[in-house]
Structure 1
Amino acid sequence: MPLLWFAFGLLGAIWILWHSQKNGYDFRSSLRWAMGTFFMPAIAIPLYFWLQSTVAGNRGSKNSRQEPRDITSDMVQSCRHCGKYYGGSPARCPHCKENLLD
């Protein structure tokens, strides 16, 4: 039984080291996770997976840190002066050159 526990800890540590490196952890953090997994696999492995699911859930909010995208650039609107359609959000109509901001 102790040999099985040792093998489980060693294989888990190797996998955690590889997986955490792949997910962007620096080497020191990956090594800490691997050492924790080797010495306490029953605690470290579930904790690692729980933290990974938490981080993966927060990755969706990572888009909020990026530059905001102008959603009006994909919209097509009609000019209230000439009735022709244009894309984006220009200050003047590309067809009749009337001011669209007032």
Structure 2
Amino acid sequence: MTRIIERNGYFSIEKMQELFKSLGPTVSLDIQSHIVSPVRVGLQGVIKEHFGHDMVDEIFNYFSRKLANTDLTFMAEENSQNIVDLFILLKRKPFD
């Protein structure tokens, strides 16, 4: 990531932190709530503004149904023993 950001040239890295999590076999992930909830938090306001309040529940119910019919085995418990969260704080470089 560092090389990609430096090669871009428009940003400087202010802070970069990798967090390794070992979930262990006892943790059970509810895939839909781990995907749908954060997406809803991030997009609900935009969707409400553009499509109206009545559409928010309908859109996210549809999204949940689509996830239920999607193969998400790559996120299953046995495949997610070690998860890496990457946090990068970028600062836009001034224009020349």
Scaled by the length of structure 1, the TM-score of the pair is 0.29
Return the structure number with greater helix share. 1
TM-score, normalised to structure 2, is 0.30
From the two aligned structures, give the one with the greater strand fraction. 2
